[in-house]
Amino acid sequence: MNEFDLIARLTRSLSTNESVVVGPGDDCAVFDQGLGDRWLLFKTDAVVQGIHFAADAAPEKIGHKALARCLSDIAAMAGTPTAAVVTLALPRKFEPEFVEKIYVGLNALAQRHGVAIVGGETTTNPGGLLISVALIGFVPRGKALRRSGAQVGDAIFVTGELGGSIAGRHLEFEPRLAEARWLAEHFSIHALLDVSDGLAGDLRHILNASHVGAQLHKSAVPISRAAKANARKGDTAKPAFVAALTDGEDFELLFTVASKAAVPLLDAWKEMFPDLKLSCIGKIIAGEGIKLRDETGIRPLTAHGYVHFS
C-alpha cells in the first residue's frame, strides 16, 4: 500500500462539519469561519531526518524547509499565511545549539512572509529529528485555487526549472506565494498546485481531480542545470528529462489556464517576474493519463513521481 492508497483508506469516513469548504485531497483545507470576505486555510506538513534531509544538513536550512513546505501549499491555494505552530521531536541526545539554529532558519523565513510562530510542542523521538509545522492563512472568499478545475483545451504552465533538487535546492527553495497571488488576481486560473512529488506525479493529481488527460511537449519541459549536470555523471545517472519528471521537491507552481489567455499571461509574467522562468509545457485533453509528444510522435507517459511507501 503506497502513500495515496493509505490516504484514500484513512479519509473515507472522516468527521466533518458545516464550516468545511475543502477537506482532504487538496493542498490545504479550507474553512468558512464567518470572516466576511475571507476563508481560512489550514495546512500541516513534516520533515523527517533521512527522508527530507540528511543528518549532516545545515540546521538553518532544515528549519527553512520545515516551514517552506507548508508555505508552498498555502501558495498553491493562492493564499496568504499568517501563523504557525511547530512540533519538534528530538532524539534523547541532542545539541541545544543545533536546535536553536533550526529556529534561526525557520524564523528568518517566517519574518519574510509575515508569519507569526505562536507555539508548538516538543517531544522525544528515538528515531531521529522530526519537525512538523501546522500553518493557517487566508484567501479571499471564493478565490481558493484548487486542483480540480482543469478544462479540456487549457494550457499547462510551470514556473522555474525542474529536477535535481537534491543538489541543494530542496533545502533552500522559496515558496511562490507572491507569484500565486498575482496569478489569481490577474487571470482566471483553472487549477493549480505546487510540484512537491515530481511533475509526472503532481500533474496526475490535477488530471484525476479534474477528470481529464494531458499532453506534454518534451522539448518544453524546463530542466534544471543540476539535473543536467547529474545526467552527465555516467551510465548510472538518471537522464535529465526523467529527473525533471520524477525527482520532486521542486516546489514550483503547476497550473492550467484557458488557451486564449496563454500569450497574455506569458507577456505579463515577463514584466512582473523577469527573473523567474515560466513555461507552457502542454495542454489538457479529453480522456485520462498523460501523453508525451516528442520528435518520434505521441505515446503514453509511464513515469511517476515520488510516492512514500512504494
Helix (H), strand (E) counts: the chain: 8, 13
Based on its alpha-carbon atoms, the radius of gyration of the chain, rounded to whole angstroms, reads 19
Task: Name the phi and psi angles at 48, rounded to 5.
Answer: -125, 130
- Using 50, 70 and 90 to split pLDDT, how confident is the model at 30? very high
**Where exactly does CATH 3.90.650.10 map onto the chain?**
155-300
C-alpha cell at 11: 479519509
Confidence of residue 310 (pLDDT cuts 50, 70, 90): low
Q: Domain 14-140 has what CATH class?
A: alpha beta
∠ at Cα 186 (182, 192), nearest 5°?
A: 65
Distance of alpha carbon 258 from the chain centroid = 22
Please tell me the predicted confidence (pLDDT) of residue 111: 98
| Res 236: pLDDT | 55
State the first-to-last Cα distance of the chain, in angstroms, to the nearest integer: 7
Q: Distances from the Cα of 112 to the Cαs of 82, 175, 177, in angstroms?
A: 12, 11, 11
Report pLDDT for 91.
93
Q: Which of 274, 224, 283 is nearest to 249 (CA)?
A: 224
| Sequence ranges of the chain with CATH classification 3.30.1330.10 | 14-140
pLDDT grade for 237, boundaries at 50, 70 and 90: low
Q: What is the pTM of this model?
A: 0.94
Give the ranges where the chain is alpha helix by DSSP (H): 3-10, 59-76, 96-112, 177-186, 199-210, 225-231, 240-246, 262-272
pLDDT tens column, 248-298: 999 999 999 999 999 999 999 999 999 999 999 999 999 999 999 999 999
- Check: CB of residue 273 under 8 Å from CB of residue 252: no
CATH code 3.90.226.10 for 155-300: no
CA-to-CA separations, 124 to 87, 111, 172, 283, in angstroms, rounded? 11, 28, 27, 48
Nearby residues of 257 by Cβ (< 8 Å), 6 or more positions away? 154, 155, 157, 187, 188, 189, 190, 265
- For the stretch 205-234, pLDDT in tens is 999 999 999 999 999 999 999 999 988 876
Mean pLDDT (the chain) is 95
Range from 62-66, 125-129, 136-140, 221-225 carrying the lowest mean pLDDT: 125-129
Does residue 235 have a pLDDT over 70?
Answer: no
Q: 483508506: which residue's cell?
A: 9
